[in-house]
């Protein structure tokens, strides 16, 4: 790591520590104020990222949709999607889009005029600052020409942001580099070398993805990293240990998202029909309301290992989130979560 990047990392860690101390002090001072106006039994209902009035009055449109189908015992909440495209050319073996798209991974796009109309309508109706996820039904960077137009829509206002999630490398980020943007959050999904080679054959290799993340981070973008799904392959601790070492030698992500494999029945069914390598599905040991998962004990071991490793770099635990996990798991790990919002993408 260069001296300049080392200084930036130290400054960021110092800032995070200062913010944490201020939040703790404010929380202590505000306890009396909160108890004066809110009954303890009702306190948990005051977290909503999306107010009830917004949900009642506006349900979304053809491009902007509210994702609110999370099972009750999964520690995740609502978030807004921007459905600008469908499908993905990367075709990862385990991808949930196989089930969502009923096996058709071919890319299709919404016309920009329709995207623009729907996005501006969303800006009118959604009053609270919101992060719109553009990588739920496709890879956010699979069409840089169209995505450039979309992110520039968000630069026309200062309340809402767009979240880009990708497994592409540096060849798809030129538009992000030529004009830095304040309303765009960049994120890369990365994985261990063996996992990427075996089940993500069309994606950029993990090092190339990290290079892309490093470039936008250097320009000041809010840059996040998603290590998901974490598979307990042979020598998994060594592989993921090495991955995190490389990650922190290149950048200091604003947030790190962790996750383990989820096997929805439709995903497994259409993956089998596609004839891809199905060895990724052999790790599943139990059923949950979000599909098949590896055993609770193995998931616990994975999360504890990853969190301990990440914290060893001085990274703040409150900037780590766990995706699509059960309430039971997060409680066992003593990870704080908000039952009414997406803990990975969050609010502004």
Q: Could you read off the pLDDT of 38-68 as tens digits, one per residue?
A: 333 332 232 234 444 444 478 899 999 999 8
Looking at domain 47-333, which of 3.40.1640.10, 3.40.50.300, 3.40.50.720, 3.80.30.30 is its CATH number?
3.80.30.30
Residue 16: predicted pLDDT: 65
Residue 348: predicted pLDDT: 66
- Domain coordinates in residue numbering, the chain: 1-46, 47-333
Residue 54: predicted pLDDT: 46
What is the pTM for the complete model shown? 0.86
Q: Is the separation of the CB atoms in 341 and 48 below 8 Å?
A: yes
Distance separating alpha carbons of residues 149 and 46, to the nearest angstrom: 36
Residue 339: predicted pLDDT: 76
Q: Is the separation of the CB atoms in 67 and 80 below 8 Å?
A: yes
State the alpha helices, DSSP H only, in the chain: 3-37, 52-57, 97-100, 112-125, 144-154, 174-178, 193-199, 206-218, 236-250, 265-274, 296-311, 327-333
Residue 326: predicted pLDDT: 93
Q: What pairing do the DSSP bridges indicate for beta strands 108-109 and 85-86?
A: antiparallel
Residue 152: predicted pLDDT: 98
Q: Tell me the Cα Rg of the chain.
A: 20
Residue 87: predicted pLDDT: 97
Residue 34: predicted pLDDT: 30
Residue 27: predicted pLDDT: 38
Q: Is the separation of the CB atoms in 185 and 348 below 8 Å?
A: no
Question: What does DSSP assign to residue 111?
Answer: -
Residue 22: predicted pLDDT: 53
Mean pLDDT by 10 residues, the chain (348 residues): 70 65 46 33 33 60 91 89 97 95 96 98 94 97 98 97 98 96 98 98 97 98 98 98 97 97 96 97 93 97 98 95 94 86 78
């Amino acid at each position: 790591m260069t001296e300049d990047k080392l200084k930036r990392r130290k400054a960021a860690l110092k800032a995070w520590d200062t913010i944490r101390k201020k939040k703790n002090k404010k929380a202590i001072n505000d306890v009396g104020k909160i108890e004066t106006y809110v009954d303890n039994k009702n306190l948990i209902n005051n977290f909503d990222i999306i107010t009830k009035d917004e949900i009642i009055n506006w349900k979304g449109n053809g491009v902007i949709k509210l994702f609110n189908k999370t099972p009750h015992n999964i520690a995740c909440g609502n978030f807004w999607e921007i459905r600008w495209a469908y499908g993905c050319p990367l075709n990862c073996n385990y991808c949930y889009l196989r089930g969502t798209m009923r096996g058709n991974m071919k890319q299709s796009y919404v016309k920009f005029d329709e995207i623009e109309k729907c996005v501006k309508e969303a800006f009118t109706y959604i009053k609270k600052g919101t992060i719109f996820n553009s990588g739920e039904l496709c890879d956010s960077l699979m069409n840089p020409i169209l995505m450039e137009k979309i992110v520039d829509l968000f630069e026309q206002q200062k309340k809402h942001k767009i979240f880009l999630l990708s497994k592409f490398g540096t060849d798809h980020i030129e538009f992000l580099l030529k004009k830095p943007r304040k309303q765009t959050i960049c994120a890369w999904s990365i994985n261990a070398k063996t996992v990427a080679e075996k089940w993500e054959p069309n994606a950029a290799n993990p090092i190339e993805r990290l290079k892309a993340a490093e470039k936008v981070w250097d320009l000041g973008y809010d840059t996040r990293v998603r290590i998901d799904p974490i598979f307990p392959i042979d020598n998994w601790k060594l592989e993921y240990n090495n991955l995190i070492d490389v990650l922190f030698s290149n950048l200091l992500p604003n947030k790190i998202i962790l996750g383990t494999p989820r096997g929805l029945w439709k995903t497994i069914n259409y993956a089998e029909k596609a004839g891809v390598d199905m060895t990724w599905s052999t790790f599943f040991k139990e059923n949950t309301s979000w599909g098949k998962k590896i055993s609770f004990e193995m998931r616990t071991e994975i999360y504890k290992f990853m969190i301990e490793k990440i914290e060893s770099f001085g990274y703040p635990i409150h900037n780590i989130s766990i995706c699509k996990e059960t309430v039971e798991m997060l409680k066992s790990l003593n990870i704080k979560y908000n039952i009414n919002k997406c803990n990975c993408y969050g609010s502004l």
